[in-house]
Amino acid sequence: MRAGEIVESASAADLYARPRHDYTKRLLDAVPRLAALRIDERSDCQDQVPEPVEGHDQPGQELPNPAAELDQVSVVYHGRGLGAGLHAVRDVSLTIAPGETLGLVGESGSGKSTIGRTLAGLIAPATGAVRIDGQDLSGLRGRRLRQLRTRLGMVFQDPTSSLNPRHTIGRSIGEPIRLHTDSTAADRRRRVEELLDAVQLGSRLAGRYPHELSGGQRQRVAIARALALRPSLVIADEPTSALDVSVQDQVLGLFRGLQDEYGFAWLFISHDLAVVSELTRRVIVLKDGAIVEAGPTDRVLRHPADAYTRRLLAAVPVADPEEQRRRRELWNDLQVTG
C-alpha cells in the first residue's frame, strides 16, 4: 500500500522475486542486507591477520584520547527478589576512537542499553572505570558531571517518548543550549535553525509540535537535539527500529552525513546485524552482559567464531521467502548444536 491505496498484490514468492511497481521495488531496495554472509562456517583464525592499531605508521605521534572507554566495567541491579543482585554487565572493556562508529549488538536483555546508559553517566558501575575524552566519570558530581555530559548526545529508540509533547520542536532542540551555555535567545534561535537545516527538516518546522510530525521527522528532531552541544560522542540506542525500511534508510544516510560533517564518534546499539554491517567498521557482540566476540565488522559477521554470533546471524530476516526458509532451518540446526 501507498498513501492509502493498494499499488501491488501478488503471492509472497512472486512479489519478492518479481516486483512490478516502482514503489515496491524501492521498498525492497531499502531493506538492509547481510551481503552473502557465510553464517554457517566457523572462523579459521590461522588465515586471519589482525588489523594494526591506527597510527602505526607514525610511531612518534601521540594518539588523541579515545572518545569513550569502559575498563572492566560491571553493572549490578539490586532489588527485591534479586538476592545479591542482577549482573546486567560483566567485566566489559571497550574503546571508541574519535570519529569512529562502533556497533554493539545482541539480543534483548543482553545489556546493550545498560552499556549505553553507563557511558552516558546515567548508571554508576559497580566496578571498573568509565572515561569520556580521557576523563574519568567516577567521583564527578554536580557541575563537573553536567559539563562532561555536554560532550555526549543520545538518540533513543522512540522519538515520541523522548520529546516533550508540550514543547515546540525549536524549544526541544534549544533546551540543551539554554541549560548548558550562556547563549542569548537570538544565538539559540540561529543554532536551532542551523540544526534543523542539518537534519534536512528546515527551520519552518521550529514552531511545530511533535504530534504534527511523522515518526521519521521526530527522529530527525531527536538527532538535531543530540547534536545541539557539538558532542564528541553520540550514543544511538536502536534509533531506527521503530521506523519503516524506507525512512530507516534515509535516517541512517543522514547519520553518516552528519558524522562526516561534525566528526563525532558514534556508538550504534542495535539488534539489526544487517544495519550494523552497513554502518560500522568494528562490532562487539554481547550476550548476558558479557562480550563474546569483537573485532572488524567484516570478519565478525562473515567469519563468526562464536556459536551465539552465528545464531544471531541466522536469525536476521531477509526480503526473500526462500532464503528466509533456509535461514530458519539453519537457525534451528544451530539451536540444537548450540
pLDDT digits (tens, 9 = 90+) for 271-294: 888 889 888 999 999 999 999 999
Q: What percent of the chain has pLDDT over 70?
A: 82
Q: Which residue has the higher pLDDT, 274 or 227?
A: 227
pLDDT for 8 beyond 90: no
- Confidence at 37, pLDDT banded by 50, 70, 90: very low
The pLDDT of residue 226: 96
Higher pLDDT, 124 or 35: 124
Q: Would you say how long the chain is, in residues? A: 338
Q: What is the CATH number for 265?
A: 3.40.50.300
Q: What is the mean pLDDT of residues 2-14?
A: 84
Residue 191 forms part of a structural domain: yes
Asked, for residue 176, whether it belongs to a domain, the answer is: yes
Does residue 323 surpass a pLDDT of 90?
Answer: no
Q: What is the per-residue pLDDT for 46?
A: 39
Q: How many CA atoms lie within 13 A of 243 on its CB side?
A: 28
> Within its chain, how far is the Cα of 84 from the centroid?
31
Decide if pLDDT at 48 tops 60. no
Mean pLDDT along residues 238-244 = 82
Please state the rounded mean pLDDT for residues 173-195. 94
The three-state secondary structure class of 126 is coil
Establish if 279 belongs to a structural domain.
yes
Whole-number pLDDT of residue 131: 94
In a domain, 132, yes or no: no
Instruction: Report yes or no on 185 lying in a domain.
Output: yes
DSSP tag of 110? S
Number of domains in the chain: 1
Domain membership of residue 173 (yes or no) is yes
Q: Are 125 and 307 in contact (CB under 8 A)?
A: no
23-52 average pLDDT score: 56
Tell which wins on pLDDT, 13 or 308: 308
In the predicted model, is pLDDT for residue 123 greater than 70?
A: yes
Alpha-carbon distance of 39 to 328, in angstroms, equals: 12
Q: Which residue has the higher pLDDT, 113 or 321?
A: 113
Domain residue limits at 270: 98-123+143-290
Query: Is a pLDDT exceeding 60 seen at residue 206?
Result: yes
More confident residue, 108 or 319: 108
Separation between Cα atoms, residue 181 and residue 169, nearest integer Å: 19
- How does the average pLDDT of the chain come out, rounded? 84
Mind listing the pLDDT tens digit for each residue in 252-270?
889 999 999 999 999 999 9
Residue 336 has a pLDDT of: 55
Q: Which three cell numbers stand for residue 240?
A: 531506527
Give the pLDDT confidence score for residue 14 in this predicted structure: 82
- Does 286 reside within a domain? yes
Q: Which residues contact 179 (CB under 8 A, 6 or more apart)?
A: none
Helix/strand/coil (H/E/C) assignment for every residue in 202-254 = CHHHHHCCHHHCCHHHHHHHHHHHHCCCCCCEEEEECCCCCCCHHHHHHHHHH
Q: Looking at the domain assignment, is residue 322 inside a domain?
A: no
